[in-house]
A and B are shown apart, each in its own frame.
Chain A
Amino acid sequence: MSTDPVSRLTEVTKVYGSGEQAVPALRGVSLRVAAGELVAVMGPSGSGKSTLLNLAGGLERATSGTVELAGVPLAGLSARSLASLRRTHAGYVFQDLNLIPSLTAIENVMLPRELDGVRTRQARAEAGTVLGEVGLADAGDRFPEELSGGQRQRVAIARALVGGRSLLLADEPTGALDTPTGDAVLQLLRERCEAGAAVLLVTHESRYAAWADRVVYLRDGQVTDTAEPLVSSR
């Protein structure tokens, strides 16, 4: 398995606003997530967790420091190249899943690939494969409202991974779920890791963070401590 990090942040800072209104969100954070690795970020609200995720996925740019995605430094990229790199390498799962209610499960999963310019037939085939990988092979033709909360979360994860995206960024993906369903989501993320994805998970719940290989604590925009198991799970 490759040990090159899929995502690497080095001494990253992020400041919102400027002058007297400047609000530092991250102050010198370094982090790497390799293929096959699940890293959880914990911290109180306002600690910079979601900012960290947005920087890693190239949705926001760092004020200083370097952010790399799949080995490519993001700072020098044009908006267009950044968008392209992001689309092919990073997928998002949010707490409010943002599934489109008028599209079926498979159409939701196909959508990012069609936006990539992939033909419908191939997009449908890819979406079918990844739905199968998350255990929803038979649910492709159902609409989001016909699925359970846990199934909808699976669709969102499938959509984030379709087309061989290697980095999955998950922001409180268990937010509204009961604990057995939340555990099932983490089980699924863990399986996707073992199949080679890199997962960066933001959560405020330690029960879910415990599925990670590494747990990073953020406080006031800085890493305060890191917990790793004494023996690697791999």
Chain B
Amino acid sequence: MSIRHGLLALLSQGARYGYQLRAEFEASTGATWPLNIGQVYTTLSRMERDGLVAPGEQDEQGRVVYAITERGRSELERWFSTPIAQSDRPRDELVIKLAMAVTAPGVDVRGVVQAQRSATMRALQTLTRAKRGADLPQRLVYDSMIFQAEAEQRWLDHCEAVLGASPQESQ
């Protein structure tokens, strides 16, 4: 996703200052996607160029409030109604690492699997602790990360079972 769609979603609830957008963006993503204020203003100026947002007058402290435009609203609507394609996601280093570990000579593949599984479980434990006491939008963000980590664990279990059954393993 792009930061711009997140900002549009926040602005659809009313006009906001840049610093407000930053704080609310981080709050609603469970602080899992930190933004710096520079990113926010760079994104806002590109959105202004593209006609998605309109700046108001500067206040006495030099702050500008941004509002969503009609065009911004239809862009946001398009974003919500379009599913994310799998191919838009970055390649997974772990998948490549394991495929290479199986191919390369002298690698303890089962050791690679176990080390990763322990590390992913620690990450899952951290996410689960963070989820306790999170409010609803944050909780859904943590749940998503938990499901992804869980899928990785299942895949690692699967790899271990497949490797155990494979004759190559005993070489």
Measured CB to CB, the residues of A under 8 A from B are 44, 187, 190, 205-207, 209-212, 215, 217, 219, 224-230, 233
Interface locus among B10-18, B64-72, B80-88, B119-127: B119-127
Q: Is the CB of A229 within 8 A of B161?
A: no
Closest CB in chain A relative to B138 CB, distance in Å: 14
Query: Which residues of A have CB within 8 Å of B160?
Result: 219
Closest CB in chain A relative to B11 CB, distance in Å: 31
Q: Is the CB of B146 within 8 A of A44?
A: no
Closest CB in chain A relative to B114 CB, distance in Å: 5
Query: Which residues of A have CB within 8 Å of B46?
Result: none
Q: Is the CB of A187 within 8 A of B121?
A: no
Closest CB in chain B relative to A112 CB, distance in Å: 30
A211–B127 CA distance with the chains assembled, in angstroms: 9
Query: Which residues of A have CB within 8 Å of B33?
Result: none
Q: Within the complex, which residue of B114, B125, B157 is in contact with A210, where a contact is CB–CB below 8 Å?
A: B125
Measured CB to CB, the residues of B under 8 A from A are 114, 117-122, 124-129, 132, 146-147, 149-150, 153-154, 157, 160-161
Q: Is the CB of B118 within 8 A of A210?
A: no
Q: Is the CB of A230 within 8 A of B122?
A: yes
Q: Is the CB of B122 within 8 A of A206?
A: no
Query: Which residues of B have CB within 8 Å of A209?
Result: 121, 124
Q: Within the complex, which residue of A190, A206, A224, A233 is in contact with B121, where a contact is CB–CB below 8 Å?
A: A206
Closest CB in chain A relative to B88 CB, distance in Å: 25
Select from chain B the residue with minimum beta-carbon distance to A215: B121
Select from chain B the residue with minimum beta-carbon distance to A211: B128
Q: Is the CB of A227 within 8 A of B129?
A: no
A225–B129 CA distance with the chains assembled, in angstroms: 21
Q: Is the CB of B154 within 8 A of A210?
A: no
A44–B158 CA distance with the chains assembled, in angstroms: 10
Closest CB in chain A relative to B130 CB, distance in Å: 11
Query: Which residues of B have CB within 8 Å of A190?
Result: 132
Q: Within the complex, which residue of A187, A210, A215 is in contact with B146, where a contact is CB–CB below 8 Å?
A: A210
Query: Which residues of B have CB within 8 Å of A207?
Result: 124, 128, 146-147, 150
Q: Is the CB of B128 within 8 A of A205?
A: no
Q: Is the CB of B117 within 8 A of A210?
A: no
Select from chain B the residue with minimum beta-carbon distance to A206: B153
Pairs across A and B, CB under 8 Å, 14 listed: A44-B157, A206-B149, A209-B124, A210-B121, A210-B125, A210-B149, A212-B125, A217-B114, A225-B118, A226-B118, A227-B119, A227-B125, A229-B122, A230-B122
Closest CB in chain A relative to B73 CB, distance in Å: 32
Q: Is the CB of B161 within 8 A of A210?
A: no
